[in-house]
Every structure is written in C-alpha cells, then in structure tokens.
Structure 1
Amino acid sequence: MSERPRVVLGVGGGIAAYKACEVLRRLTESGHDVRVVPTAAALNFVGAATFEALSGHPVHTGVFTEVPEVQHVRVGKEADLVLVVPATADLLARAAHGLADDLLTNTLLTARCPVAFFPAMHTEMWEHPATRDNVALLRSRGVVVAEPASGRLTGVDTGKGRLPDPAEIADLARLLLARPDALPRDLHGLRVVVSAGGTREPLDPVRYLGNRSSGKQGYALARVAAQRGAEVVLVAAHTAALPEPAGVDLRHVSTALEMRDAVLEAAQAADVVVMAAAVADFRPAARAEHKIKKSEDRPDPEISLVRNPDILAELVENRKPDQVIVGFAAETGDEQGSVLDHARAKLRRKGCDLLVVNAVGDGRAFEVEDNAGWLLAADGTERAIPLGSKAQLAATLWDAVSEYGKR
C-alpha cells in the first residue's frame, strides 16, 4: 500500500449521491488519496466540479478519456480500496453480472483490492428477490455489501434502504484498508447484544454522577457485528452524539438500573452479549427533588451512595446454554498489582468467557478515536491488542467470538 492509501470512490446515480461528498471530505482530510468515479447518472445529482474540487483529481465517467493511459484498467489496478457510495439497485445488478459499460463498472472488474458497496434505495427495491440475489452473489465473491440503514427515504417513505451515515462509511473504509478481511459474513444468524456509553445517576434535576465514556467503542462493536451479518441490539446510555449504526436495533437508556433491565431483557434471546458500556458502580441513595443550592449559611451537602447491580455478573448467572458473554474492563495499575493482574482477577470473579482490558488514563481508551489493550479468555489464553481504531479492536473481538463459538 502506498504512503497515502489510494481510494476509488464510485458514486451511483441515486439521491444519496450528495452524501458521497462528505465521505470524500472525511477520507481526504484523514490523508487518503481519493479519486471519484461517478456514473453518468450520478452527475445529475452532484456535478463533476464538486468532486474535482474536493478530491483534486479530474472526474470522468466513460472509457474514452485518457485512452493512452488505459485508465479503464489502470484506475482499478492501482487502487487500495474501492468504495461505491451510494450503490443503487441498477449498479449492484451490473456489478454482479460483470457488465462493463462505463468507467466505474470497468474499475470494478479490474480491481484486485477490497471492494465495498454501500446500498441506498427504497425498501421495496432492497427487498426485491433480484436485488437480494445480486447481493448474495457479490458477497459470495468476497465483496463487501454493507447493510443499509433504516429511516427517512425520498418523499414520504421510511424504511430500510437508507445510506449509512458518511462518518460510518469512512470508518468502515479505514477498517478495510487496515484489515481487508475485517468484514466477513461469519456472524450471520447470530443474535448479538452490545451495551455502550456511560450511565448517568441523577443527584438532582440538574446534576448527575457520570463518567468519561463516549460510547465509541460500543458503537464500533455494534457496527462491525451488523456488517458481519449479526442481528444486533445496541443498548446505549449517554454517548457523544454518535450516528446510529446501520442495521442495528438501537435502544436508549440513561441510568444503570435502566441499562440492567434493557440488557437482561435483550439477552434472553441473544447468542452473544458484549458489555462494553461504562456502568456506574454507585448511585445516590436519594435524588433531590430540587437543585442542590450552594449557600454560605448552609453546611456542604453529604451525598450517600448505594451500589448498583453488577450487570455482567447477572448475565453470567442467568446465561443460556452456549451463550457467549464478553466483558470490558477499564483498569489502572496500583500498589496491589498491574493492569493485567487486576484484569485476570476480574475475569475469574465475573466468570465471563472473554474480557477486553483497556489501560485507561493519559488520553487512553476514553474520548479518543483509537484503542488498545488485551483480550483474556476463560481458558487462560491471552493476547495483546495493538493500538488501532476502535473498529479494528471490534473486528479483533468478533474474530475471537467467532472462534470461541466453534470450540
């Protein structure tokens, strides 16, 4: 791979083509060399000048430009990744059957790098047997065809078929560049529950006890699991205004008690449960009905705390046969032991199958884009997880879950 990864951004002729501009901006700003190859229909939605200004490359749709350079072959052969955003039903059909009547479809035939389609179309088109067969055919060849999101479509329609958020597409693109094998369909048929974010325990109508969790790691886990074929329920406490992952059933909660109820309910039908949320260990014994005032003539208030339920321990105690349970531990070393010492003790105490351990503090784990740590298993095996994006850590964990289920 070149120093600046070379990405071909194919753009299909659908109304969501305008969102390709945001994907392009995110990739170029993170150091990628992006060339846009639209279909002729896509230029009815976004003009070539816009793509050229954002990418710094000329834009062509046909094979009869730059003929001496054989660009209809060169563009695909030189790419490190090909994305198609949006992928219309027509474009999926042409790609599945090897048609090559413009520069983009020629590029798809000549590319020997990872190729990922991000569909966008009306629900009826996405669910049509012809589209489903084309998607299955492409996936059987190792091509990534992402699950679309659900939501508002064109006109008054809503449903499945909405293009995933551009931030999610850019994140998955970076994942595929780092790990071309990161999105197999190995979780197809599995029902997965993931918790994310930090709970908030009210002190009064204004204040709360909370933590620094952004929810980014839990969202990455849910996003990658959905794109690997799982049926995902994401139970999310407070997060940093993250876009909803495509293909995921998102359920919002606020407090630790709400998190407990939602996770235990969803876990009843789950094959895998991943507790990535930062759940408060304690909550105020009583919530003040009015804002607690600071006053010179009053003593400082004393706040009594009570222990919150241990959700991970309850999951283990109530687990179904063959259910895989994964915990997360944010640890710091102290005079009693190292990060790994504390993590090993927690794994024994909790009784879960896998435990992801993050060393926290000094800009690590919380409120950052990257993550690292260790993956501990109940059978005593341990492996280090090198620093990488949170999507990369998610892919590593799902690899382990997939292998664990085969034992």
Structure 2
Amino acid sequence: MKIIKVKRMHSLAQAGFVGGVLALAAPASQADIEMLDGRIATNIYLTQGIQSVEADSGAFDPANTETEAGFHRTRVNFTTVIRFTDWLTATVDLGEESEDFGDQFQITNDDTFLDVALLRAIGSPLAERNALILRFGQPVITTFNFRGYTDGAAALGNPLIGNSPFDIVTAEAGVGLYGQHSLGDGVLQSLGWDFKVSQPTIGEDFSGDRSFNLNATVRLVFAGGFKLGAGWLHSDGGDQFEPGPGNFANISATDAVIGDGEAYNFPGTFTGSRDTHAGLLPGISTDLWMVDFEYARDDIFMPVTVRGWLGLGKDDFSFVDAGGNQTTMRGGAISEVARMESKILGWGSEGTFYVLPNFAYLAVRYTEVENRSNGISGKPQLDRLQLGGGVWLAENVLTKAEYVRQQEERNSPGQIGDDWDGFVFEIATRF
C-alpha cells in the first residue's frame, strides 16, 4: 500500500451569509448601517464566549485530558452589501475569526462574491416571481439547507453555541448558479436550487491535476411551515495520486467534508483545527449526499423549530497511521493518506422551543456519525448531544448557554480519541 503526503488546503473561510440564510426563527434585528441612499449596507457582528471542556483519559493527546476553563478570543465580522445596480451586487465579509483563522490576529477577507441577477438584467417579466443569480467569487459549498449554524461572529442564527460535528460546509473559489421560484399559495409554495463549480481553496492554485468540485442543493417550501431539501458534493482529486516508491504528492483536499471551525477548542491542537468534527474522509475523491427538513411554527403560544438531516459519504482515500491502518485527521496532525476507501453515515436532529415568546428558549441537538468502511471492528460511532438555551437581552443581543457531550468509540470518525464534555457560554450581537 503506497502512502503519500497530503497538503490540506484549508479554506480559512466560511461564507458569512450562511448563518443568515439558515437563520433561526427569532427576533433578530434587520437594521443595517446604510450609506449612499441604501446602495451600501453593512452589518457588524461581535461574539464573545467562555468554555470549560475536557476529554477523558483515553484521548489521543494527553493535553486534552487536563484542561482549564477560559475565555474565547472575541470574534468580529463586517459584512457589507454593495448594490451597483438593480441587478449587480457584491457582498464582502471581513472577519477576525479565531475558530477559522487560528491565532493570526488580523482582519481577513473571509468571503467575497459578486452576484448578477440575470432576469433583472434583461428586464424579464419573470423576475417578479423568479430569481436567477450568477455568483462569482467564493460560493458556499455545503450539502445541507436548514440548520442552526454559527459562522465566525454571525451566531444569532444558531440556537446553540457549537455546530454539529457533521456539518458539510465551507467556502471555495468558483462560480455558482442560484434559482428561486415562487409557486403561489398552494401546497408547494416555492422552489430553490443551486449548482456550483469550485476548487478546494479560496486562493489561487494552478498546479497540475488540480480537481474541480461539484456541489448542488435543492429545497422545497410547503404550506404550514414544512421545508424539504437535498444536497450533493463531488470532489475528484485522485489524479494527483501517483503511486511509486518515494513519489509523494501534495494533494488538494476539500475542507467541506470536515467543516469549518466552531466554539470548542482543545489545547492539544492549534486554534481553529476543527478537531471536534468528524474527520474520517480526507475529501480527495469524494461523494456526499444529504437530505434534510425543517418544520417551524411561530404563530402558536410556544414557537417551535424542528430540523433533521441524514447523509452518506465515501472517499477513495483514507487517513492512515504509520502502519497503514485507517485513522482520522486528528485536528490536522495526521498528514498521510492512502488509496483505501472510507465511508461514513451521519444523521442528526435539532429542536428549538420558545418558553417565553420573543425572549427565552430551550434547544437540543443530537448528531451521530458512524464509520461504515469495510473491515472496521468495534462500535465505530461518534455522537454529540447539545443541550442549552438562550435569552434575548435586546432584539439584536443574544446570550446563550450550552452543555455538550461527545462520545467517540474505537475506530469512530472522532479526532479527540475519547469521550469529552463540558459547558460553554456566549454573548452574540449584531448592529
């Protein structure tokens, strides 16, 4: 079995609008800082947290079993929408995000893209009920449609603090086509879809045998608050693998299969290492499929939002240890891969219940990811339980608390190596 080195092309970005598009039904303020007759609008996000989490004694890195409580570095994002014309807009998201950028301590171009509204550009009457957007820049690469999610300081759309360990999402350089169609007031009210072609980086890389990633999602909105969606991601970087003694290659791998960083940070790895996610698939030659749903009612005494998702994924490659045995990325510490198929199955559910409408809620999320690769023994399963809630101190200020417990069985997709749990607290705002 030939082992090769892998260079992970960390996107260092998570498209800033993900948290807004997948927003929790909550009284978040929509006020922007507007300039030039509304042609430039800016939102400022700021989030600060504290954690106390620790792993059991069997963790891969002993440092993770002796941790102390501490504060997260403040995250901040400046998201600006520039409307050049009625059919041409740009979005620029600048962020200082420790969970994505590590300890760089600098404002970085987190995500930028240019949108061309094609139907408006040609003056089509179809634009009244339809949108067709061509996006250039850094489209979001993901397989889910409905999720409470935190991206950098954009945390108001997440009822909890951490994300799911099975969030297939990142940003990559490329182009996307987005459609949105209003279908009236019947049972099926709207249809949305998108298709994107990208490379597994937000930078520039024109080296030989670079792969293109393909990503598509579709979503349906029904009467009564029910939504249904599906997603697909394909990466084909296997051509960069050249077998032969001593013939190592730097392989570009999509970070979407790992997901971007989140609120939990262990001392055994660098800040922003994504080591709490499922890290089984390298993302080199990958296919991922997911279906998800959302049911939300805000017209009842206790407003409720329920979401669920189920996904399957496989890769022609696996992370391996020095003996050639399958392992996980371990927060970036594992840099060796081999041509050995890896498979995962994951599912999860999330519920948010407002005990005091527009003021206080309780939330729960459960996620399970299983190693379905051939020849794997034991109980190769990772599961995460998140319990928490939040209180709106103002219409744009949310304070949250969460208890998290993650169990990582032998040969599971987990990167910490054993069970871990703890408490996290956060205050998030937007202006």
> Which structure ranks higher in relative contact order (CA pairs < 8 Å, sequence separation ≥ 6)?
2
Larger Rg: 1
TM-score, normalisation: structure 2: 0.26
TM-score, normalisation: structure 1: 0.27
